[in-house]
Structure 1
Amino acid sequence: METGTAGERACRFAAGIAAALGVREEQVAGTAALLAGGATVPFIARYRKEATGCLDEVAVAAVRDCLAAMERLEERRETVLASLREQGVLTPDLTARVMGAESLAVLEDLYLPFRPGRRTRASAARELGLAPLAAALLRGECADPLAAAQRYVRPDGPADAAAALAGASDIIAATVSEDAGVRASMRRLFMEAGVLTVRAARGKDLAATPYADYAGYTGRLGAMPGHRVHAVLRGAREGLLSLTVAPPERRALGLMGMRGRGPGAEVVAAAVQDGYRRLLAPAMERESLAAAKARADEEAVQVFAANLRRLLLAPPLGRTIVLAVDPGFAAGCKVACLDRQGTLLHATVVRPLPPHRQEGKAGAVLADLCRRYGVEVVAVGNGHGGREARAFLLGLGLGVPVITVSECGASVYSASAEARREFPDLDLTLRSAVSIGRRLQDPLAELVKIDPQALGVGQYQHDVDGRLLTAALDDTVVSAVNAVGVEVNTASAPLLARVSGIGPKQAGQIVGFREEHGPFGSRQSLLEVPGIGPKTFEQAAGFLRVVGGADPLDATAVHPMHTPVVRAMADDLGVGVGDLVGNPALLGQVEPERYVHGAVGLPTVHDICAELAAPGRDPRPPFDLSAYEGAPASIDDLAPGMALQGTVTNVTAFGAFVDIGVGTDGLVHVSELADAYVARPLDVVGVHDRVAVTVLSVDLKRRRIALSMRERREG
């Protein structure tokens, strides 16, 4: 039995998806049709609002993910039906139940008794012809179970009545543990009432491990925070922890259903208990731990994605001449001078820090570079030696701000193919300095070149499902890039590759065409690039910018397909198209309802007017230089009660890490984020936030700093 085409299946499941997401069925159907046609999430959310009922990117992506899950379910359903049909066991009732399965778990429960190739104690007993004995026991037809079992003893079968009875019990145990209804009820019980018990693995001493606090833990698995779930699962993988999950056994056995009747009831009860303990409980324990991990993965991915988005959309310093310093001790401090476009002007190495201590020579070189190139700001990496390098730079009195920049991932970029392509003759360490400087000028343009997992803003990222994490982070990068827009004449290939509709190959073709033929004069001229056809252009054009071209709309987010709408507005007002751009007063005379026609609805017209009023607006906040003033302290100078300013570098489920300029980030535990209860740290702080903190404690030996953001009032 075929389960229908992808389109038919999408329609069939639209109601369920709509209910799950809290949207209307027609919104799901409209989104599904666009996705099936190859439209991207950013394009659908920005330029197809009428078709989706104004769903935002998050909702469109959720519909996409639900549809993908539905496809996986349907593919598995078809496989199961084919197998059951081939085995000759596909009855009308079983067909209906398989077709009605709404989750993979339910589908697998239905298929479990029929899975080929499973060699079990029950299957061996069935091969010995003991199924009738098991059925008789369940019906209460055995006045004397052992006597009934004796009839099944034969040379090529059970050796004695006890063996026959044991085989029949194995069949009963398997039958009850494989019952789809029982498994569904048991699954719910384990999820709702399953208690996790954590013990030290046999023969393991946890005293010197990160898991010492977990030994002896007992609590409901469903209530355990995600980061703790990841921790105990990691401890179990490392062979240091032993984990068990179980609800109250009395409640579990009460769900098993089969009781038996008459003298055989005790045999049935023992078999049911064996089925629970030996077969069903271990399976449900594995499922419960897997479900807890999936929940923890989802939580960790959401935190990582939120942190990454804040990092990517951090304020850009903009077109500024930068002196970038990648600090180091023995290897020296790597220095790169960049012009306003991020082009490398000069690169060198100075050695002001121990063991070299060439302060005078290094200071003279840096001062000369600042004068020669008109440096407007100094960027210094926050890695090993960053605090000392910043103190040295501030002491030079260069007359320009010195800003600490996260160098997470800079070394990854320096060894990448993109870095080798751009700087084939530059030493790998000097490439890191270039990356540090550029991420100050434009964090988004530079950070897209680096694997997000190397940027240091994740939570237990190595414990998380890799495919889930990669997909979520890819969505985040694409969303951020398209929210800002990309200048097609200056963008790197990695940045262009994140634009809606454009992949790495097409991005390379655009850059190659630009290098060979010069800057693009218009967005329309992108169609001259080999590999950029009408469909790609449609998906990408609205997110690309050509500044200074003949068409003023090319520098805005107004899609070329909506140019006729803008022309009609201009004609009706008796002005040129360019007169509307950046002219809110003139746009105030536009009557949006007049331009609604066909696929262009009122939401789109309003978006066009908003973009024309503030063309090319950047969603990123402005850069605040004042936030970086002041020299850093040393961790040795910290004391409880000290009030400081800091920058949030990472947010996790258990709190936020804050850079206070001492070379070691302090932790604001979730309980110290605010005076009120905080359930989700991301609701209070985000990466790059400037925050006021108070030092609670300092552990110099372990270099740990506890901070608070609460307002502490005197008694």
Structure 2
Amino acid sequence: MDINKILEKELNLKKFQIENAIKLIDEGNTIPFIARYRKEQTGEMSDVQLRDFYDRLTYLRNLVERKDDIKRLIDEQGKLTDEIVTAVNNAKTLQEVEDIYAPYKQKKRTRATIAKERGLESLAMMILLSRNVDLSKEAENYIDEDKGVDSTDIAIDGAKDIIAEQISDDAEVRKYIRENALNHGLVVSKSKDENDTVYKMYSDFTEAVKTILPHRTLAINRGEKEGILSVKIVVEDEKMIEYIAKKYSGKQNEGNENILLEIAQDSYKRLIFPSIEREVRNHLTDIAQERAIKVFGQNLNGLLLQPPIKEKVVMGFDPAYRTGCKIAIVDKNGKLLDFTTVYPTEPQNKIDESKKILKKLIEKHKVDIISIGNGTASRESEKFVAEMISEIDRNVSYVIVNEAGASVYSASKLANEEHPDINVSIRGAISIARRLQDPMAELVKIEPKSIGVGQYQHDVNEKRLTEVLDGVVEDSVNKIGVDINTASFSLLEHIAGISSGVAKNIVAYRDENGDFGGIDELKKVKRLGPAAFKQSAGFIRIPNASNPLDNTGVHPESYEACEKIIDLLNYTMDDVRDGKLDDIDSRVKKYGFVKLCEDSDVGNATMKDIIEEIKKPGRDIRDSGIKPILRTDVMKLEDLEIDMELSGTVRNVVDFGAFVDIGIKNDGLVHISEISKKRINKVSDVLTVGDIVNVRVIKIDLERGKVGLSMKNVKQPKADV
């Protein structure tokens, strides 16, 4: 089995990309490091491509390992033949390999194994290999009361059980039925509760296994788990039974067709199809879960990469009803200045008192923006805030932020370490304020799966979800880079090559010795060895370093080449530090890009990255994004009109569309068919959580409180360039 050739064909990659990517991964390099600093070797594979590559490589390596195990296990039984070796070697999936191994796997006591213990195997072989068998007569020879064979019927039934299990273990039969179920089978669900409204769509539902959408699979699974739906896979049973009977009937057992048909029916209905049905359901679930996890990851990436609101004093407003709204004010750097609790919502409704308290705090701390969590009582709180800021002279606006995971953070060990003397409930308001100032720095403190942006995230494989989301966080953090002199250890531990322990050591070193003055000082941190330095150095920023390259994404291994490039273009390091490279593109063009690469011994891809980095040291790619919508007034559903155009924030992306916050109580839905005039296969290819979009109202349902939106024929906002 040539893994490299399989990867080359499946992933449409070139031979050198496959070989180099495997080599780099096996050497222990991280995905962010490979994606960013080994572009020439990988043909500029992205971090997403590399993670998909790694997943497939791991599967294929496990497949090879399992093939070797199975050949060894069968050989230990003295049953390994050239035919089995060929079949195992040609198998393309783990399922195929397990099918081949099934007849040789040690089984629990079954009807067939009991029949074999009773000495009925030769009677079974007689049915398979002898013509016109008079079973009743032959079975008399197997009656043995000591073995529990009291009659010819028991003997015959036992022989049939042995053949039924043999058919069930036939890899070719299983493959035929499995492929038929996958390609021609139907998923059928029925409701057990005629009053159910949640799963109404699936109360009498039929769809092809081959085309069922992932989110429908997960919905059906949940309905079945809750006992509301009954679900089954339907195929042409008679066709399958006919196939088995034909395969096991021939000249060698002519005259036994009727009993073989009977055995085929039993084997199919009792042993094969229930197993295949489970496999197909598991297959659909695996596809659906992987899709849901991918959507979750893309949404999380969107949240993490939202543009930060810098240099603003923010009031975090954590809405609630009975327990009151928690308030926390943080300065421009996220430091807690003040906190309190107010009760402007039901049941207390202390609106005037709450306004008075908050107006004083706004004036005292010169608050610029109020960050309101989007959870329970959010819209009531928004109405209160809009009223309040209309009554004050100071220019204050508000924004609704995704508060997912704030309560998880509040009760965490990290939150306790950061704010040991602050009540747990107030910590959530601090998080809501800070995630407006720097979404990524705050969100990395929360376990990714607790940031609920996706579909059916509670119905997916938790281990796989954690694995993928951790990768998303790592890639997002390393795309931005981290200021080593201000970052918390919870942010530092997501830098490529930096473990949690080393991240804490970096903070400890900083506390003891003051700010890092240069990238090489990182080597003095306890347990941060050469390998960790190599992986992490390019993703670390030091704004006030003596070498301006320490505040860029240029890797230290390329410093010498970078300095040569700067010199060849008639610049100085002072020019880099002072941001005086405005005409660098024209100088590169005049010098000749290819010649510049040759003269500095740098690859094309690396050269492009170096030039972009030295143009603007310390640049944050998030700054070019569209900033969150700041509001000063609140809208009601009744204020909407058909064809009204509004700006909104994408709050969630699912397979059938995107939910957009347009400032009313419930988010509006942009169905996938209303996103673009062009056909869209996946919503996540176009939209992600946190995107600012312009929409048009196309449907208003006052009774159900729902709004339909469209992005067609609506001019979309542009990011800063």
Judge same fold: TM > 0.5, yes or no. Answer: yes
Query: Which SS does the other structure have where 2:658 is aligned?
Result: strand
Bigger shift: 596-605 or 34-43? 596-605
Query: Which SS does the other structure have where 1:73 is aligned?
Result: helix
1:665 to partner: Cα distance:
1.9
CA deviation string 1:520-568 (max 9, x = no partner): 1111111111011110010001011000111100100000110010122
Equivalent position of 1:367 in the other structure: 359
Which of residues 131, 138, 142 in structure 2 aligns to 1:141? Answer: 131
Q: In the alignment, is residue 337 of structure 1 matched against residue 329 of structure 2?
A: yes
Which of residues 381, 389, 395 in structure 2 aligns to 1:394? Answer: 389
Equivalent position of 1:511 in the other structure: 507
Distance across 1 between alignment mates of 2:532 and 2:74: 43
Equivalent position of 2:196 in the other structure: 208
**Contact kept? 2:564, 2:600, Cα under 8 Å:** no
1:240 to partner: Cα distance:
2.4
- Judged with a 3 Å threshold, the aligned counterparts in structure 2 of structure 1 residues 78 and 356 are, in CA distance, closer, same or farther, namely same
Distance across 1 between alignment mates of 2:317 and 2:204: 49
1:594 to partner: Cα distance:
4.7
Q: Partner amino acid for 2:604? A: L
1:642 to partner: Cα distance:
5.4
Which of residues 18, 33, 51 in structure 2 aligns to 1:28? Answer: 18
Which of residues 458, 478, 481 in structure 1 aligns to 2:474? Answer: 478
Q: In the alignment, is residue 166 of structure 1 matched against residue 171 of structure 2?
A: no
Equivalent position of 2:432 in the other structure: 436
Equivalent position of 1:287 in the other structure: 279
1:622 to partner: Cα distance:
4.1
Equivalent position of 2:297 in the other structure: 305
- Judged with a 3 Å threshold, the aligned counterparts in structure 2 of structure 1 residues 694 and 57 are, in CA distance, closer, same or farther, namely same
**1:216-365 superposed matches below 5 A:** 216-256=204-244, 257-260=247-250, 261-365=253-357
Q: In the alignment, is residue 377 of structure 1 matched against residue 372 of structure 2?
A: no
Query: Which SS does the other structure have where 1:267 is aligned?
Result: helix
**Contact kept? 2:676, 2:712, Cα under 8 Å:** yes
1:337 to partner: Cα distance:
2.0
Distance across 1 between alignment mates of 2:570 and 2:653: 53
1:354 to partner: Cα distance:
4.5
Q: In the alignment, is residue 698 of structure 1 matched against residue 701 of structure 2?
A: yes
**1:293-692 superposed matches below 5 A:** 293-383=285-375, 384=377, 385-397=380-392, 398-573=394-569, 575-580=571-576, 582=579, 583-586=581-584, 588-589=587-588, 591-596=593-598, 600-622=602-624, 627-635=629-637, 637=639, 643-674=645-676, 677-689=679-691, 690-692=693-695
**Contact kept? 1:646, 1:693, Cα under 8 Å:** no
Q: In the alignment, is residue 49 of structure 1 matched against residue 39 of structure 2?
A: yes
Distance across 2 between alignment mates of 1:621 and 1:516: 32
Distance across 2 between alignment mates of 1:451 and 1:695: 38
- Judged with a 3 Å threshold, the aligned counterparts in structure 2 of structure 1 residues 111 and 358 are, in CA distance, closer, same or farther, namely same
Equivalent position of 2:63 in the other structure: 73
- Judged with a 3 Å threshold, the aligned counterparts in structure 2 of structure 1 residues 564 and 244 are, in CA distance, closer, same or farther, namely same
Query: Which SS does the other structure have where 1:646 is aligned?
Result: strand
- Judged with a 3 Å threshold, the aligned counterparts in structure 2 of structure 1 residues 393 and 379 are, in CA distance, closer, same or farther, namely farther
Distance across 1 between alignment mates of 2:358 and 2:661: 26
Query: Which SS does the other structure have where 1:335 is aligned?
Result: strand
1:225 to partner: Cα distance:
1.2
Equivalent position of 1:6 in the other structure: none
Query: Which SS does the other structure have where 1:207 is aligned?
Result: coil
CA deviation string 1:5-31 (max 9, x = no partner): xxxx9xx41111221111123312211
Distance across 2 between alignment mates of 1:697 and 1:502: 51
CA deviation string 1:171-224 (max 9, x = no partner): 222222211112122211111011122123xxx424135223312222212211
**Contact kept? 1:152, 1:164, Cα under 8 Å:** yes
Distance across 1 between alignment mates of 2:472 and 2:107: 43
1:592 to partner: Cα distance:
4.9
Distance across 1 between alignment mates of 2:79 and 2:706: 63
Bigger shift: 474-483 or 155-164? 155-164
Q: Partner amino acid for 1:483? A: K
1:38 to partner: Cα distance:
1.0
Bigger shift: 143-152 or 119-128? 143-152
**Contact kept? 1:592, 1:606, Cα under 8 Å:** no
Query: Which SS does the other structure have where 2:560 is aligned?
Result: helix
Consecutive unaligned residues of structure 1, counting only runs of 5 or more, are 1-8
**Contact kept? 2:329, 2:339, Cα under 8 Å:** yes
Query: Which SS does the other structure have where 1:133 is aligned?
Result: helix
**Contact kept? 1:125, 1:171, Cα under 8 Å:** yes
Distance across 2 between alignment mates of 1:272 and 1:646: 61
Q: Partner amino acid for 1:631? A: D
CA deviation string 1:457-505 (max 9, x = no partner): 1100111111221111111111111111111111111111111111211
Q: Partner amino acid for 1:285? A: E
Distance across 2 between alignment mates of 1:675 and 1:208: 36
1:137 to partner: Cα distance:
2.0
Equivalent position of 1:120 in the other structure: 110
Q: Partner amino acid for 2:262? A: A
1:604 to partner: Cα distance:
1.6
Q: Partner amino acid for 1:57? A: D
- Judged with a 3 Å threshold, the aligned counterparts in structure 2 of structure 1 residues 555 and 395 are, in CA distance, closer, same or farther, namely same
**Contact kept? 1:693, 1:709, Cα under 8 Å:** yes
Bigger shift: 354-363 or 136-145? 354-363
Query: Which SS does the other structure have where 1:539 is aligned?
Result: helix
Equivalent position of 2:718 in the other structure: none
1:351 to partner: Cα distance:
3.6
Aligned residues: 698
1:334 to partner: Cα distance:
2.3
1:650 to partner: Cα distance:
0.4
Identity over aligned pairs, percent: 36
Query: Which SS does the other structure have where 2:210 is aligned?
Result: helix
1:574 to partner: Cα distance:
5.3
Q: Partner amino acid for 2:696? A: V
Q: Partner amino acid for 2:182? A: M
Bigger shift: 286-295 or 464-473? 464-473
Distance across 2 between alignment mates of 1:219 and 1:327: 43
Which of residues 175, 184, 187 in structure 2 aligns to 1:184? Answer: 175
**Contact kept? 1:134, 1:171, Cα under 8 Å:** yes
Q: Partner amino acid for 1:97? A: A
- Judged with a 3 Å threshold, the aligned counterparts in structure 2 of structure 1 residues 515 and 272 are, in CA distance, closer, same or farther, namely same
- Judged with a 3 Å threshold, the aligned counterparts in structure 2 of structure 1 residues 578 and 61 are, in CA distance, closer, same or farther, namely farther
CA deviation string 1:80-122 (max 9, x = no partner): 3343233332234323433443311011101111111332222
Bigger shift: 86-95 or 634-643? 634-643
**Contact kept? 2:314, 2:329, Cα under 8 Å:** yes
1:37 to partner: Cα distance:
1.2
**Contact kept? 1:227, 1:653, Cα under 8 Å:** yes
Q: Partner amino acid for 2:34? A: I
CA deviation string 1:372-397 (max 9, x = no partner): 33333222222314323332333333
Distance across 1 between alignment mates of 2:142 and 2:404: 71
Distance across 1 between alignment mates of 2:236 and 2:512: 72
Q: TM-score, length-normalised on structure 2?
A: 0.91
Equivalent position of 2:719 in the other structure: none
